[in-house]
Amino acid sequence: MQRFEIKMYCSPEFPAYRMRRLRRFKIIQETQLKKDDFVYPLFIDENIKKRKEIASIPGQYRFPLKEIVEEVTSLREIGIRSVILFGIPSKKNMVGSEAYNKNGVVQRAIKAIKKEITDIIVIGDVCLCEYTSHGHCGILTEENYIDNDKTLDVIGKIAESYAESGIDIVAPSGMMDGTVRFVRKRLDDEGYTDVAIMAYSAKYNSGFYSPFRDAADSSPSFGDRSTYQMDYKNSDEAMREIYLDIKEGADIVMVKPALSYLDIIYRAKKMFNFPLAAYNVSGEYAMLKLSSLDQDRVMEEILSSIKRAGADIIISYHAKEFIERFL
Ligand code: PBG
């Protein structure tokens, strides 16, 4: 994006001006976004016949299974090399069993994509909230508690069913304790040793997810997620969560959301120097879309700031338009 630039006179004893000149040629530009930094989120809906725009996330769509290969092919053509899949099933129940149905909507999408397109990384979000009738990310006890340990077993089943369908990376997002160790063991025991784990390690209990919850029909029908997601007033705790996930065998750790959490991204990268993803979530995207700001300019500023803070991987609804316009 070329903007009109005003030349500047500056006396030679102030070297900062020379630096700014060099920066224009990118030789000293510290942060450069590239196509491979991005992961693009995709929603696959078992209940529809034609792609449908998501009202709460303008410009994003729910796709029926039969359009998914076509969509990923066109993403691949513009240079997107990884996608993360979310499923919207036709049936929900108390225990979310559709999530590990071998013929579930995500499992079929993985198989279809992997069959037709070879050089694409397919990531599967592993969670129960889209599949449970109550919308929580875990199995409930009779008293309506979340049963962490029972949930792990279901998470393991989902991860295994994705692996069986040909997934490259599973991304457990439910924030149940011990998930990474449990999933790693399950995958290894079943022979899926080369399936990687991207852990939603520091996932905050955030108001920025609400457009996604409309999109994925996954709002909790009672209560909130504060017993399993993190409190945004805490930062040391995020470092502990990340530390545990690395120890349990995560290949990539994640901070989510991104923009109000750039300090967490920065700290995590400095502290662990481990592959780090940041999720630029639905509410962050919608906030820009619904504003009167210069869309392209602010999009670039936002994505650059996430990378500058230390993220190696950026999951973003902007990925497609950013790559089309800038890369
Ligand atoms: C859970 C999940 C959520 C998001 C990704 N995975 C929602 C939640 O925790 O409520 C949110 C992503 C976004 O807002 O873009 N399956």
Query: DSSP readout, 31-44?
Result: ----GGGEEEEEEE
Is 6 part of any domain?
A: no
Instruction: Report pLDDT digits (tens) over 127-162.
Output: 999 999 999 999 999 999 999 999 999 999 999 999
Indicate which CATH number applies to the domain containing 295.
3.20.20.70
Q: Which atom in ligand 1 lies closest to the alpha carbon of residue 41? A: 15
User: Of these residues, 52, 91, 203, 320, which one is catalytic?
Assistant: 203
Q: What is the pLDDT of residue 25?
A: 83
Give the mean pLDDT of 251-265.
98
Q: Which atom of ligand 1 lies nearest, measured to the CA of 283? A: 14
**Is residue 3 situated within a structural domain?**
no
Domain with 294, as residue range(s), is 30-326
* Mean pLDDT calculated for residue range 10-16: 85
Share of the chain above pLDDT 70, in %: 99
Q: Structurally, how many domains does the chain consist of? A: 1
Q: What are phi and psi of 260, to 5 degrees?
A: -85, 5
The one-character DSSP state at 260 is G
211 CA: nearest ligand 1 atom? 14
- Predicted structure pTM score: 0.96
Pick the closest to residue 183 from 245, 233, 133 (CA basis). 245
Output the average pLDDT for the chain.
95
For residue 92, pLDDT beyond 90: yes
Residue 77 lies in a domain: yes
Is the pLDDT at 4 greater than 80, yes or no? no
Q: What is the DSSP letter of 147?
A: E
d(CA 244, CA 240): 6
Least confident range of 17-21, 76-80, 222-226, 295-299: 17-21
Give every CB contact of residue 52 below 8 A, 6+ residues apart in sequence. 45, 61, 62
How many whole angstroms separate alpha carbon 172 and alpha carbon 220? 18
Q: What are phi and psi of 28, to 5 degrees?
A: -115, 20
The predicted pLDDT at position 2 comes to 55
What's the rounded mean pLDDT across residues 75-90?
97
Predicted pLDDT of residue 323: 98
209, part of any domain: yes
Cα distance between residue 300 and residue 322, in whole Å: 7
Q: Is the pLDDT of residue 126 over 80?
A: yes
Residue of the CA atom closest to atom 5 of ligand 1: 173
In a domain, 125, yes or no: yes
What value does the mean pLDDT take over residues 110-132?
97
| Residue that wins the pLDDT comparison between 28 and 45 | 45
2 is a domain residue: no
Confirm whether 25 is domain-assigned.
no
| CA–centroid distance, residue 22 to ligand 1 (Å) | 41
Residue 176 burial (CB count, 10 A): 24
Residue 239 pLDDT class (50, 70, 90 cuts): very high
What whole-number percentage of the chain has pLDDT above 90?
A: 87
- Look at strands 276-280 and 252-256 and give their pairing: parallel
- In-domain check, residue 288: yes
State mean pLDDT over 287-301. Answer: 98
203 a catalytic residue? yes
Instruction: Determine whether 50 is an active site residue.
Output: no
Ligand 1, pocket-test mutation among 212, 224, 255, 314, most atoms within 8 A of CB: 212
User: What pLDDT was estimated at residue 3?
Assistant: 64
Residue nearest to atom 7 of ligand 1 (CA): 209
